[in-house]
Structure 1
Amino acid sequence: MILEARDLEYRYEDGTLALDRASLAIRGHEKLAILGANGAGKSTLLSLLNGSLRPSAGKVLLNGGPVAYSRKALTELRSQVGLVLQDPDDQLFAATVFEDVSFGPLNLGLSVAEARVRVSDALDAIGIAPLSHRPTHLLSFGQRKRVAIAGVLAMSPSVLLLDEPTAGLDPAGVEDLTETLHALAAQGVAVVVATHDMDMTYAWADRVAVFAKGKILIEDTPDKLFGMENFGERTGLRLPLVYQLGKGLTALGLMPGQDIMPRGVDELLRCISAQNDSRHS
């Protein structure tokens, strides 16, 4: 495991228990979605994993060793475990895109030349290289989200944590971002997304963890998780729309029966077409 939360507890200043002995292991190269209602503790968990918050009890482990909280240790942790906040305006502060994305590498002590390479690579990875000299305040919301992600990627993290990355994006923006996160995972980055977006989760994730009342309720592959009996009653969450549609079409005989439902609309249409072809052959 590259990163692990082990029996984490966290209390807010007013004494409210936000995390209650929460445990979660993150493997290298995986795409993990964390689902849960508002207030379940998803964002708090991400902040603890990144060292932005310190647990009241329990511990965070990086590459098998416990995380320390000295300034030097936290700098090292955050160079390996990057956190992208839900609102990019909480993360962006420099005048231009290039300056903003440069901040992390320069803060690590890299030379200007080394930082420039890191920034260029990060902007290319996120698909916003043409925006490098644009003022950040003139960017769209979706563009600012991409700049925030690029700023974290420029640190060359092993783990990328994203809090509600699709919030506020239009459907095209969600699709573009999902493709970007696919590509990052394929390059070896472990990508962890805390989200309410059931459809994006089903299309994208390798593994899903459902959070409730400050702890992990269930975790499994998307197919097994959403195929559980009484999923909605047990979790308080709805099933992905494509999954519901696939089940309904199968029940009507319009799609071949199968253990694994299509993950996206294109795959669903191919299954329907295959069923139609078999009827006419």
Structure 2
Amino acid sequence: MILEALAIGYRYEDGTQALDNVSLTIAPSQKLVVVGANGAGKSSLLALLNGSFKPSAGEVRLNGKPVGYDRKGLTLLRSNVGLVLQDPDDQLFAASVFEDVSFGPLNLGLSVEEARKRVMHALEVMEISDLSHRPTHLLSFGQRKRVAIAGILAMSPSVLLLDEPTAGLDPKGVEDLTKTLDDLAKHDVAVVVATHDMDVAYTLADRVAVFSRGKVVMQGVPEEVFGDARFCERSGLRLPIVYQISAGLRDLGLIAGAEGCPRSVDELLTRVSAARSARIESR
């Protein structure tokens, strides 16, 4: 495992228990989606995994070793584990896109040439190379989101943490970002997304962890978690729309059930079309 949380707990200064005995593991190329209602503890978890917070109980491990909270330990952690905040304006501060994305690599002590290579690659991955010299304050919200992610990717992390990455995006922006995160996982970046967008969670996740009141109440593969009759009661969330439709069609025998439920609208339509063709051929 690249990153592990072992029985971690965290209390805010006012005594509020944000996390209680939380254990999670993150493997290479894995897409872990953490779901839960507002206030469930998702953002606190990401801050602990990134070293922004220090657990009051338990420990975080990077590549099997406990994280140190001195300057050296935190530098090592943050060079491997990047955090993208919900509001991109909390991360963007340079005058231009190129300058902003350059900040992290240059802070790692890389040469100007190596930093430039990383920046150009990150901009290309996020499909914003054409914005490299644009002032950050003239970007749309979705563009600023992509610049914020590019700034973390330019540091070549092993794990990318994202807090509500699709919040504020239009449907096309959500679709594009989901595809980008899926592609990153295929190129050996572990992706951890905290969200209450159930449709994004279902489309993206390899594994799902359900948070409620600072605890992990369920975790497993998406069909296992969303197929649990107690999901809505325990999470305070609704089921993903595609899952609800797919499960209904499967139960009615209108699509084959052996392959599990479709994970996206496109997959659902393909399966419905295939089932329709099979019925016509059998007549």
Could you list the per-position Cα deviations for residues 236-269 of structure 1 after superposition, in whole angstroms to 9, with x for gaps in the alignment? 2211101111122234443334461111111111
Query: Does residue 1:56 correspond to 2:27, yes or no?
Result: no
- 1:35-59, Cα deviation, whole Å (9 max, x unpaired): 0111111100100100011111211
The superposition leaves residues 203-234 of structure 1 with CA deviations (integer Å, 9 ceiling, x where unpaired) of 11100000111111111001111111232123
1:182-261 to structure 2, matched below 5 A, reads 182-258=182-258, 260-261=260-261
Q: Which residue is equivalent to 2:98?
A: 98
Q: Determine the C-alpha separation between the residues in 2 that align with 1:245 and 1:162.
A: 28
Task: Give 2:135's aligned residue.
Answer: 135
Partners in 1 of 2:67 and 2:207 — Cα distance?
24
Give the match for residue 78 of structure 2: 78
Percent same amino acid among aligned pairs? Answer: 69
**Retained in 1: the 8 A contact 2:121–2:154?**
yes
Contact 1:232-1:239 at 8 Å conserved across structures: yes
Conservation of the 8 A alpha-carbon contact between 1:23 and 1:215: no
Q: Contact 1:5/1:61 (CA < 8 Å) preserved in 2? A: yes
For the aligned residue pairs, the C-alpha RMSD in angstroms reads 1.2
Match in the other structure for 1:10: 10
Tell me, in whole angstroms, the C-alpha distance in 1 between the residues paired with 2:66 and 2:251: 50
Distance, in Å, in 2 between the alignment partners of 1:254 and 1:272 is: 7
CA distance in 2, matches of 1:11, 1:135: 39
AA at the equivalent of 1:11: R
Q: Distance in 2 between matches of 1:249 and 1:56?
A: 47
In structure 2, C-alpha distance between the alignment counterparts of 1:129 and 1:263, rounded to whole Å: 31
> Which stretches of structure 1, 4 residues or more, deviate above 6 A after TM superposition?
none
Aligned to 1:165, the other structure's residue is in SS state coil
**8 Å Cα contact 1:50/1:81 also seen in 2:** yes
Unaligned runs of 5+ in 2: none
Q: CA deviation at 1:34?
A: 0.2
Equivalent-residue separation in structure 1 for 2:189 and 2:271 (angstroms): 32
Alignment of 1:256-271 (within 5 A): 256-258=256-258, 260-271=260-271
DSSP 3-state at the match of 1:244? helix
Aligned mates of 1:270, 1:259 — CA distance in 2: 13
Q: Which amino acid aligns with 1:143?
A: Q
Q: Deviation digits for residues 56-80 of structure 1, max 9, x if unmatched?
A: 1211100000001111221111010
Q: Give, in whole Å, the separation in 1 of the partners of 2:246 and 2:14.
A: 46
The CA distance in 1 between the partners of 2:158 and 2:256, in whole Å, is 40
Contact 1:35 1:210 in 2 (8 A): yes
**Equivalent position of 1:178 in the other structure:** 178
Q: Given that residues 36 and 211 in structure 2 are in contact (C-alpha distance below 8 angstroms), is that contact kept between their aligned partners in structure 1?
A: yes
Question: Normalising by structure 2, what TM-score?
Answer: 0.96
1:67 aligns with 2:67: yes
1:25 and 2:25 aligned = yes
- Which aligned pairs between 1:29-40 and structure 2 lie closer than 5 A? 29-40=29-40
Contact 2:250/2:261, CA 8 A, preserved across alignment: no
Give the aligned length.
281
Paired position in structure 2 for 1:107: 107
Do 1:158 and 1:189's aligned partners in 2 also have CA atoms closer than 8 Å? yes
Q: Distance in 1 between matches of 2:136 and 2:233?
A: 43
Separation in 2 of the partners of 1:26 and 1:261? Answer: 24
- The amino acid of 1:144's aligned partner reads R
Q: What does residue 167 of structure 2 align with?
A: 167
1:129 maps to amino acid: S
* Equivalent residues of 2:37, 2:235 under 8 A apart: no
